[in-house]
Chains A and B, each alone.
Chain A
Amino acid sequence: MANLKTTFSDIGVMTKRNLLHYRRLPQLIIFSFIQPVMFVLLFAYVFGGAIETSSGKYINFLLPGILVQTILFGAMMTGVSLANDITKGMIDRFRSLPMARSAVLAGRTITEMIRNIFVVVLMTAVGYLIGFRIEHGWGNFGFAVLFIALVGFAFSWVSAAIGLWVKNVETAQSAGFIWVFPLAFASSIFVPIETMSGGVRTFAEHNPITYMVNTVRALSLGTPVGNNIWYALIWVGAILAVFIPVAVHIYRKNT
């Protein structure tokens, strides 16, 4: 009986439910926000002087990277929330209802996308307070925010698959760090890749996060974007093409 209209309605109901959680427990958002703020302050003031970048002020280099890092770390929330829903029996409840199968996962990843946009805007405001400036126009920065939201949506599905697979909040959390940490630190988020050496540099050069960060940097600072945006979009497409079916499959079979 699942037609398009009821599917959208189910996704809407699920998204509303998830957003209500954030409204009732604003600390969930506050913590996903404090951590990147700390990173900004730490890197800008502690390492800022020591790091040479070609694009002028270090904070201008750093903030676009931090925005991507924020949504990457934030993606872990998707898996953790789903694992929590499994533990609490909510997923069983949903699976016993005549709702669209995809609605639980779509509602969750859409919620995380909305949260990401909110946090990215807040982070930009904080950046402005400590000297970050958009140098390529607000229009392009708007595109950057949408691009970040899309990247976050893709990583949400990776996290969803992991959360559904491990079915346990703590494991989902530690499993999240395993893939998030190397991706975040061996990339162009904090320092220019030219300062790295050996295997780390090779990894960083091919790290999807690097392409994504370079794209956001180009959109906010006006540095040349090159092929970064295409590689980034290919990665986003590939992640979605692999992890949506995987997550949906695990949701159907394994919970």
Chain B
Amino acid sequence: MATNQLRQYITEARKSGMSNQDIIEALTKSGWHVHDIIDIVVDFPPKETGAAVISVRNVSKHFGKVKALDGVTLDIPSGQVIALLGPNGAGKTTLVRILGTLSQPTEGTVTIAGLDVVKDAQELRAIIGLTGQYAAVDEILSGRENLDMVGQLYHLPIEEACKRTIELLKEFDLEDAADRSVKTYSGGMRRRLDLAASLVIRPKVLFLDEPTTGLDPRSRLVMWNVIRDLVQGGTTVLLTTQYMEEADQLAHHIFVIDHGKIIAQGTSDELKRQVGGDVLELHLAEHKQVSQAAELIKSFGSAEPRFDSNTGIVTMSVQGGATVLVDVVRQLDTANVKISDVILRRPSLDDVFIKLTGHSAQ
């Protein structure tokens, strides 16, 4: 059936009162892959393009008295990497679990590709992938058995499931360990297997909760490349992270979340511009002089300086770059505060974060 015939079929089926679910079921029975038809069925008759693939409206989630999410609204366009950036306890996992149909919002609605995460959960599960914060793989089974099992639970015919498993094992560099029990895998291998399990059906939308936490720098780069390739192939990826650098490197768009609320959003550059100016970083020879130094240079900054007596570092946002630098150094020299290093740099996302929340992300 060509696309035109498909559209005709859907028109007829709609007229005869079949629900989207019935139509999808009938089409998959006649050999279509859910992935290829879901868009056409759901967006039928076709709307103008550019619509958000994920739309979160006023979502709250309460655990007793704790408001893990407090009125979150966001739209996510398709085919991008979106980062959800926030400190421990910000509500990242809670939001990802709702998007992944594992938990239901207390208030508000979420739709993904036009399907409601509560009402259409079962249909949705056939087009999304979810990799949680902790690897969810069966330790007693082998890597191959894990992937075969997931393939079969996606209702792929058994030969197709096995074929897909072989592809994924290769892609994620797990061929040598394929028939070993997962118990013997390293943390990085488990994470890769976990991600592979979410990719069995080539999901349209993929949710990754802290995909690189606990990975060494090399594995992290591998993971970043995998994510970039997926997006190239048209998948929308929403990932959560506590690492500024990760959001900076990967994400087209960043949502900053804290205490269950979205407190800022934009591209990495847009967010950095909110801080304005440059950041002056002073490393003191005598760590305990930080508060004294901060007091001395306060008048030169565009915001209150911050200091850490453990590292002996004082940071401050400044306007006017080099001139201020000279003034600051002179001032400290006069007061006999020894400086071991001075850095004048563009604001990092970490600075953005501190400006927005008043505390560091890590």
| Interface positions of A (Cβ within 8 A of B) | 1-3, 6, 9-10, 13, 17, 20-21, 24-25, 88-90, 92-99
Contact = CB atoms under 8 A, between A and B. Distances in A.
Interface in B110-156: 122-123, 125-126, 128-130, 132, 134-141, 145, 149-150, 152-155
Interface of B: 21, 24-25, 28, 97, 100-102, 122-123, 125-126, 128-130, 132, 134-141, 145, 149-150, 152-155, 181, 197
Nearest to A25: B140
A98 B34 CA distance: 11
A13 B152 CA distance: 7
Given A25-B140, A98-B122, A98-B126, A1 B25 contact: yes
A20 B150 contact: no
A96 B135 contact: no
A252 B281 CA distance: 52
A187 B109 CA distance: 53
Contact of B134 (A10, A89, A99): A89
Interface of A is mostly: helix
B148 to A, nearest CB: 9
A1 B122 contact: yes
Nearest to A3: B25
B195 to A, nearest CB: 12
24 contacts: A1-B28, A1-B123, A1-B126, A9-B152, A9-B155, A10-B153, A13-B152, A17-B141, A20-B145, A24-B141, A88-B138, A89-B132, A89-B134, A92-B102, A95-B101, A96-B100, A96-B102, A96-B130, A97-B125, A97-B153, A98-B126, A99-B153, A99-B154, A99-B155
B125 A98 contact: yes
A94 B123 contact: no
A90 B153 contact: no
Contacts of A2: 122
B155 A96 contact: no
Given A9-B155, A24-B140, A93 B197 contact: yes
B153 A20 contact: no
Given A20-B141, A89-B136, A90-B136, A96 B101 contact: yes
A95 B102 contact: yes
A-B interface, 3 closest residue pairs, ranked by CB to CB distance from nearest: A89-B136, A93-B136, A98-B125
A17 B148 CA distance: 11
A25 B138 CA distance: 13
Given A89-B132, A96-B125, A99-B153, A1 B138 contact: no
Contacts of A24: 140-141, 181
A143 to B, nearest CB: 34
Nearest to A91: B136
A1 B153 contact: no
A88 B126 contact: no
Interface centre among B25, B122, B129, B145 (most CB of A within 10 A): B122
B21 to A, nearest CB: 7
Nearest to A84: B139
Nearest to B129: A96
B53 to A, nearest CB: 18
A10 B151 CA distance: 11
B139 A94 contact: no
Contacts of A96: 100-102, 125, 128-130
A62 to B, nearest CB: 35
Contacts of B134: 89
Given A1-B122, A96-B130, 7 more contacts: A1-B24, A17-B138, A17-B141, A20-B140, A90-B136, A92-B136, A98-B155
Nearest to B104: A253
Given A9-B155, A13-B149, A96-B101, A1 B21 contact: yes
A3 to B, nearest CB: 8
Contacts of B152: 9, 13
Contacts of B128: 96
A9 B151 CA distance: 12
